[in-house]
A and B are shown apart, each in its own frame.
Chain A
Amino acid sequence: MNESTHAIFTRPQSFRDVVTHYCPGCTHGIIHRLVAEVLDEFGIRGRTVGVAPVGCGVFIYNYFQTDFLEAPHGRAPALATGLKRVRPDLIVFTYQGDGDLASIGTAEIIHAANRGEKFTTIFVNNAIYGMTGGQMAPTTMPGQITTTSPRGRNVEECGYPIRMAELISTLRTPAYIERVAVHTPQNIVRAKKAIRKAFQYQIDNKCFSLVEVLSTCPTNWGLTPNESLNWLEKTMQPYYPLGVFKTPDAEEQK
């Protein structure tokens, strides 16, 4: 094998050489890395600004070698709108969890998507509030036990989990919306492709882009890392189907 064909596994430049605070078996680290790899591959690190959420992902600004803003809970899409409108030459992305994006920040994400803001959202859906200690999220599965649904999520009282990718895809404004998962190597490769595409659409100044990533939370699910990967596939994936829900190209054909 020629030396140039060796892919040497190194840390992406966009990622700092630090230990993250994430729990064992949590997939935030994988998703972070995929975003960092994409920033490296496009060579856009120096003009990228991330917007951190409130939740487990809040410390993302300590892990990326890019400028960062830390938003109030749920408001990352509003901050991203403000920054991107003033500096359209920057690459702006938000990184948000399900409590942040699908509960307290529902208005902000829907309206940012509907205005067709040219930034990218990485939406990490692990069906629970991680940082505050495992409370019920809008994406918590029916019957799922959390600290605030100790007898399991009762859909009679709490409704069914919100499928954000589908919800946002109903908007007429062109966008790129895809749902991926990171519980197997094959899915991780697909997730990377989706994230690449999302940033590509932004670089081309084409549309709003959002990638929903099904993720695990072994600590608050009360499962081992392996059981968590399995639970994601068996319980979450059937309810949250993977795939592309909307592309701007399809919109043009209409």
Chain B
Amino acid sequence: MTRILMKGNEAIAEAAIRAGAIYYFAYPITPQNEVGEYMARRLPEVGGVFVQAESEVAVGNMLFGAVASGKRVFTSSSSPGISLMQEAISYMAGARLPVVLINIMRGGPGLGGILPSQADYFQSTKGGGHGDYRVLVLAPSTLQEAVDLTMLAFHLADKYCNPTMVLADGMIGQMMEPVEFPENYVEEPVPPKDWATTGCQGRAPVIIKSLNLDPVVLEKNNLVLAEKYKLMKRDEVRFEAYRINPKNRILVVSYGTMARICQTVIDELEQEEISIGLLRPITLFPFPAKEIFAEAVKPNIEVVLTVEMSMGQMVEDVEWAVKDKKPVEFYGRTGGIVPTPEEVKDYIMKILAKDTPAVKSWNG
């Protein structure tokens, strides 16, 4: 395999093509425009389709129609654009369609800013649109992982017939790193797409819909979805354990770009003989709650610290996972500000010195 230096957005775009997704619908928004620009150039070369839609509302619904063909289709966008797609995401979740969405998060709320943020955790992992549904969410922390998870996203979407999101931040989208693409990409088989609307020649008509006026039928569809989410929680939880060992005094939980910064801090503290472990969720839904609990309750752990580029969103899931067995602290910056290793380190030192934390999550 050859290593190529690429920008995150372009690496994600190429990864999607390598996974067989050659149908792309999108609307321009910073900081992910390079995905669309790459696709506009590249897709005609591979017999694919690029459509620049009139809005993200239309993008979501073009995906809805396109994914109904049974082909792999996707979009990329950033926070405000993903908000506009929530209508279609809810419909596709209800109709059980395997769409893939890339969200290169920027600061909010509202128009917010264009710099990196992790403030869409709630929106991505708790539903986002109306109704009882979940999106499978993958959070890369390096460009190589962005490539790998983008390819995996198409597989998992097909496996579960469920909307699947790669949730990265503007840092992942904008920075450059060497990446490798698998040369002979092979996937586990996915279920046949016998639900696709491909014309009813030689078979009974297929209807893809989310409308069920009979509450018994509608509840049944929700139960099918719930069963699927249970399977995801059982089989698809992914995380990375970094420097986790019995000497750890603090368990840090952090994802994406923020987790990389925490790794730097943890490496530095290791030099100073202060042992900190990091549990980095790779799937945000399903969330590695059991794994966090198992580490948090170990006798040496004094505090669980969640670090995010938000005012405290994932920390709610961490608190829920830890079940009051250990104190949960939070540190975060938001609005496009990326915490430096120094400020994270300072905060950890304060915790160790039992100094009252200066920053808490909004619900803390």
Q: A49 CA to B196 CA in the complex, in Å? A: 11
> Which B-chain residue is minimally distant from A46 (CB atoms)?
B201
| B205–A82 CB distance below 8 A | no
B354 within 8 Å of A (CB atoms): no
Within 8 A of B (CB), among A30-73: 45-49, 51-52, 58, 61, 64-72
Q: How many residues of A contact B (CB 8 A)?
A: 35
B64 engages A86 (CB within 8 Å) = no
Contact status A71-B61, CB under 8 Å: yes
CB-contacts of A65-87 with B (<8 A): 65-72, 75, 78-87
**Does B51 interact with chain A (Cβ within 8 Å)?**
yes
Inter-chain contacts of B64 with A (CB < 8 A) = 69, 71-72, 75, 78-79, 82
**Complex contact A78–B197 (CB within 8 A):** no
Interface flag for B29 (CB, 8 Å): no
Which residues on A sit within 8 Å (CB–CB) of B222? none
For B95, what are the chain A residues with a Cβ–Cβ distance below 8 Å? 70
A70 and B58 contacting across the interface, CB-CB below 8 Å: no
Summarize A's interface: helix, strand, loop or mixed. helix
User: Is A79 a contact of B23 with CB atoms below 8 Å?
Assistant: no
Q: State in angstroms the CA–CA spacing of A111 and B57 once bound together.
A: 12
Taken residue by residue from 75 to 119, chain A's Cβ proximity to chain B (1 for < 8 Å, 0 otherwise) reads as 100111111111100100000000000000001101100010000
Contacts of A78 in B (CB 8 A): 53, 57-62, 64-65
The residues of B that contact A86 with a CB separation of less than 8 Å are 23, 49, 66, 69, 71, 73
| A65 vs B210: C-alpha distance when bound (angstroms) | 19
A67 partner, pick from B54, B206, B210, beta carbons under 8 A: B206
Bound CA span A45–B202, Å: 11
The verdict on B55 contacting chain A, using a C-beta distance below 8 Å, is yes
Q: How far does the alpha carbon of A52 sit from the alpha carbon of B91 in the complex, in Å?
A: 14
Q: Does B41 contact A (CB under 8 A)?
A: no
Report the minimum CB–CB distance from B124 to chain A (whole Å). Answer: 20
Given contacts A49-B197, A90-B198, contact A68 B62 (CB under 8 A): no
**CB atoms of B65 and A82 under 8 A apart:** yes
Report A-chain residues with C-beta under 8 Å of the C-beta of B25: 82
Q: Contacts of A84 on B, CB cut-off 8 Å?
A: 65
Q: Once bound together, how far apart are the Cα atoms of A90 and B200, in whole Å?
A: 11
- Are A67 and B209 in touch, CB under 8 angstroms? no
Rounded to whole angstroms, the CA-CA distance of A90 and B64 in the bound complex is 16
Q: Within the complex, which residue of B51, B201, B202 is in contact with A81, where a contact is CB–CB below 8 Å?
A: B51
Distance from B336 Cβ to chain A, minimum over Cβ atoms (Å):
30
B344 at the A interface (CB under 8 A): no
Question: B193-217: which have CB < 8 Å to A?
Answer: 197-202, 205-211
Contact with A65, one of B58, B66, B73, B205 (Cβ below 8 angstroms): B205
Q: How far is the CA of A64 from the CA of B73 in the complex (A)?
A: 27
CA distance A66 to B198 in the complex (A): 10
Instruction: Write the nearest CB–CB distance from A93 to chain B, whole angstroms.
Output: 12
Enumerate chain B residues within 8 angstroms of A82, measured Cβ to Cβ. 23, 25, 51, 61-69, 73
Asked if B87 is at the interface of the complex by the 8 Å CB criterion, the answer is yes
- CB of B205 within 8 A of CB of A80, answer no
In the complex, which residues of chain A have a beta carbon less than 8 angstroms from the beta carbon of B59?
Answer: 78
Chain B residues with CB under 8 A of A45: 200
The residues of A that contact B65 with a CB separation of less than 8 Å are: 51, 69, 71, 78-84
Does A85 contact B66, Cβ atoms closer than 8 Å?
yes
C-alpha gap A75/B64 in the complex (Å): 10
* Closest Cβ neighbor of A73 among chain B residues: B87
Q: Is the CB of A58 within 8 A of B211?
A: yes
Q: A158 to B94, alpha carbons, bound, how many Å?
A: 35
CB distance from A132 to the nearest CB of B (A): 14
* Distance to closest chain B CB from A204 (angstroms): 18
CB distance from B133 to the nearest CB of A (A): 14
With contacts A71-B61, A90-B198 known, is A61 near B209, CB below 8 A? Answer: yes
CA distance A51 to B71 in the complex (A): 18
- B61 near A69 (CB under 8 angstroms)? no
CB contact under 8 A between A108 and B199, given known A68-B208, A82-B25: no
The yes or no answer to B139 lying at the interface (CB within 8 A) is: no
The answer to whether residues A87 and B61 also contact, given A82-B25, A111-B54 and a CB cut-off of 8 A, is no
17 pairs from A and B in contact (CB 8 Å cutoff): A48-B199, A67-B205, A70-B210, A71-B65, A75-B61, A78-B62, A79-B62, A80-B65, A82-B23, A82-B51, A82-B62, A82-B66, A85-B49, A86-B71, A107-B54, A107-B58, A111-B54
Interface residues of A (CB under 8 A from B): 45-49, 51-52, 58, 61, 64-72, 75, 78-87, 90, 107-108, 110-111, 115
9 A-B pairs with the lowest CB-CB distances in the bound complex, closest first: A46-B201, A82-B65, A79-B65, A82-B66, A78-B61, A70-B209, A82-B62, A47-B199, A75-B61
